[in-house]
Chains A and B, each alone.
Chain A
Amino acid sequence: MFATYLRRELGNRKRQTIIVAIGMALAIGLVILVSSISSGVKNAQAQVLESVYGVGTDITVTQTPAAPEDGAVTGPLFEFDSGAGETTDGTTSLTQSVLTPSRFGGTFDAATLDTITDIDGVAAATGVLELNNMTFSGEMPDITQGSGPSFQQGPPTSGGSDGAGGSAFDVDSFSVNGIDVDSTSVGPLTAVTLDDGRSLDADDTGAYVAVLDSAYATTNELAVGDSITIGGQAFEIVGIVSSTSADAETAANVYIPLDVAQTLSGNEGMLSTVYVQASDASAVSALADALEEALPDATVSTQEDLASSVSGSLSTASSLVSSLGTWLSVIVLAAAFLLAILFTISGVGRRTREFGTLKAIGWSNGRIVRQVAGESLVQGLLGGVIGVALGLAGIFAVNAIAPTLTASTGGQFTFGGPPVTTGGEGPVQGGGPVLSGGPLGGADAGSSTDIVLNAPVALSVLLLAVGLAIIGGLLAGAFGGWRAARLRPAEALRSVA
């Protein structure tokens, strides 16, 4: 009887059923689409972050750099003796490679890693020394007649690259990460795939071996077995890696053993970043608090903080989805619920005589409430099913359009300003340092990545959406049922007499 009555009522009141179902469907579809896009944006952010911070990293600990004292030299310093370089035909060729810590990240004692490891809730931790290698090379007029650094301007002389006293300099910069080869379960190299050769392992302690990011290797035409100069030392390239994300590069251009990086950069026993994996994903916030308490001078950043370092249109999309999308979903959902409730209450009002009659022939309040709630529930479910179809269609459309978002992560500093001229007529390539990057620093040099937004379909979201539709139906049914239950049979019959 219940099913027959329900089917006949919904079939007879098609317009109301369709309006309620469509309202619910729009809301459910929007919830699914917004949730899916939100997941897609989060995945994109995670991809960007993983490429920089590695897989499984919940927290990073960095040292807040101290403000430089007045007059102190904070950048790399190239120093040439009076006899430096080789002079041929009045032109002196100079080359110098310097390995220095990241400009925006401070360093701290490696003992900090032990402090971190001893804190409850830390599953794994590894230290990284983030460095920048800069190689200065160029030709200039014979400097053996002068003394000291020769970047002063002066009258053109003979010699130089153009034979008229001009000079040409080239500054090459790439990022270097010193990796703890004994601890690779967490850290930058967890988010890479090996393209060629091998990765760094425990046997590489103290060895002058390097693993290169594939994009950097391709640009500089380097391969496994070649040599690369870092901090003035020749390193054998033993492996080429690329990011697990097709759209991103790895955290640094070059990876070398931590102990070698510390020695060459003059930072023995120092680290710039500690990558921490929490033993319980739900306790990351508490662990971050414990780390901040244990290391008051350090900067502790969770994934949430790290996500805020991603800027560009990806960040804009994230803000848009989390604010406008969420609120729009809530408003449409509330409107759909309200619509369903009002239609149900109105329907009960129109059926006063019907319910009065049913009570007169022995239907209990519970039976009538179940009937009304059942009708609303089916309307909600119908809306939920249509909503799931709409949501999936929306997701399909987003994935078909495949919008490209730009993500920028925090970085060190790069050279790349427009050419400027000093001294004679020769151009100085490289110009001044151009700063870029976010608050965290220590990442790939100011990297900007295009990521195609992919909205995933999550079963949990679909179930949640159907659950919301059921809740909407039950809410409407509860209000309608309550109204029907309150009808006194005598009054219900009297009202139509």
Chain B
Amino acid sequence: MYQLTNLTKKYKARGKDVVALHDVDLEIPSGAMIAIQGPTGGGKSTLLQMLGALDRPSSGTITLDDRSLGKLGDGALTKVRAREIGFVFQGFNLIPTLTAQENVETALAPLRLSGAERRRRAIEALTSVGLDDRLRHLPAELSGGQQQRVAIARALVKNPRVLLADEPTGNLDEDTRDEIMDLLEGLWRDLGLTLIVVTHDSAVAKRAQRRLKIKQGKVTEAESKVAA
């Protein structure tokens, strides 16, 4: 479970302080599916980076299962990211020189598994997203939807407890968007993940149990579904 208390994040941009998050108080229970919406520059991605242990707050606290992420050292944060958090990005962020299977294996490299075990789990993950026939394909040889499936497989192959998706359908057409969201939603249900999706798309946001709005660094509740 995430617990954010009076969390503030400031950046220096062109010599000026920019407040990306301002006194955020938020609780996200384990297994929840949450959508975060808001205008560009409102602080969505910054909030996601805080939740993903990619950055530390300027003030306030953020805890994941009672561990204060702001107080952990770089090595400990790296371990949290390696074992507990999966990321899916708008631009897929696949490594262009590696095949689909190798891209998925990159997520297992920090776990010190044997080569055979890495390969087995990568193939299994790609099969679970319907890409068992694209193992040897480079990203450039895949469609946008297929690339995002590879990215999802990479995020899930390590069996994380949290999946963070930053505009996961932002670069996809409507049909593909629905496919990807169906996939994410299915995985969330099946695996019991905590799924947090940042999106501009209301159609995507409506799939979440709980919707948050973020504007000028302040988070507010939008509306919630009673049941998923």
Contact = CB atoms under 8 A, between A and B. Distances in A.
Given A8-B102, A362-B81, A488-B55, A357 B89 contact: yes
Interface of B: 45-46, 49, 52, 54-55, 74-75, 78-79, 81-83, 86-87, 89-91, 93, 95-98, 102, 105-110, 115, 118, 154-155, 158, 166
A328 interface: no
Given A489-B54, A493-B49, A493-B89, A362 B110 contact: yes
Task: Give the 6 A-B CB pairs with smallest separation, nearest first.
Answer: A362-B82, A490-B55, A8-B97, A357-B93, A12-B97, A490-B54
Contacts of B107: 361-362
Nearest to B113: A1
Contact of B110 (A8, A11, A354, A367): A367
A247 to B, nearest CB: 57
21 contacts: A1-B118, A8-B98, A8-B102, A11-B97, A353-B91, A353-B93, A354-B95, A357-B89, A360-B52, A361-B81, A361-B82, A361-B107, A363-B109, A364-B75, A365-B74, A367-B110, A489-B54, A490-B49, A490-B55, A493-B93, A496-B91
Contacts of A356: 93
A226 interface: no
The CB with the most chain A CB atoms within 10 A, among B78, B83, B118, is that of B78
Interface of A: 1-2, 4-5, 8-9, 11-12, 353-354, 356-365, 367, 488-490, 493-494, 496-497
Contacts of B115: 1
Dominant SS at the A interface?
helix
A363 B110 contact: yes
A364 B106 CA distance: 12
B96 A12 contact: yes
A1 B103 CA distance: 10
Contacts of A354: 93, 95
Contacts of B98: 4-5, 8
Nearest to B154: A361
Contacts of B154: 361
A85 to B, nearest CB: 99
A302 to B, nearest CB: 58
A360 B84 CA distance: 11
A362 B78 contact: yes
Given A4-B102, A362-B79, A367 B45 contact: no
A497 B81 CA distance: 20
B91 A360 contact: no
A367 B75 CA distance: 12
A360 B106 contact: no
Contacts of B90: 497
Contacts of B95: 5, 354, 357-358
Contacts of B108: 1
Contacts of A365: 74, 78
B214 to A, nearest CB: 15
Contacts of A489: 49, 54-55
A31 to B, nearest CB: 32
A355 to B, nearest CB: 10
Contacts of B81: 359-362
Contacts of B49: 489-490, 493-494
Contacts of A496: 91
A2 B118 CA distance: 13
B153 to A, nearest CB: 12
A358 B108 CA distance: 11
A367 B79 CA distance: 13
Contacts of B109: 1-2, 363, 367
Contacts of B110: 362-364, 367
A365 B90 CA distance: 24
A362 B55 contact: no
Nearest to A361: B107
A363 B110 CA distance: 6
A360 B118 CA distance: 19
Contacts of B93: 353-354, 356-357, 493
Contacts of A360: 52, 54, 81, 87
A362 B74 CA distance: 11
Contacts of B83: 362
Contacts of B91: 353, 496
